[in-house]
Amino acid sequence: MPHTMEWKVRPHAFEDDVGTTRARVVLDSGTTELTGQGATHCHPADMNLPEIGDELAAGRAMEDLALLLRSTAERDIEGLAAPWPST
């Protein structure tokens, strides 16, 4: 049976006062929301290029989100293996 779904993914990035770029990526499936977190800090010897900090922090947040999504799926699979309650 064909299945189609659409999820919304919203990335957010900001730099704090000490030069750390933080990002979060929110996945909204319509029934569940998961949020991945990521951060990066510009080394003092490096050129400050905010776009690169945004990319690194967002990429790390997406990796975190991927781990959360896999963990959720694994828990759901384990739940299916549990015996059904008798009625």
Residue 24 corresponds to which tokens in the numbers above?
Answer: 């979060």
**Is the residue at 2 inside a domain?**
no
What is the pLDDT, as a whole number, of residue 87? 56
**Is the residue at 54 inside a domain?**
yes
Domain range holding 72? 8-80
Cβ proximity of 9 and 27 under 8 Å: yes
**Is the residue at 40 inside a domain?**
yes
**Is the residue at 87 inside a domain?**
no
What's the pTM? 0.82
**Is the residue at 86 inside a domain?**
no
Amino acid at 73: A
Q: In CATH, what number is assigned to the domain containing residue 15? A: 3.30.160.240
Q: 20-73: per-residue pLDDT in tens? A: 999 999 999 999 999 999 999 988 888 888 899 999 999 999 999 999 999 999
Q: Count up the domains in the chain and report the number.
A: 1
Cβ proximity of 39 and 25 under 8 Å: no
Spatial CB neighbours of 68, under 8 Å, sequence gap ≥ 6: 34, 35, 36
Q: How far apart are CA 22 and CA 13, in angstroms?
A: 6
**Is the residue at 64 inside a domain?**
yes
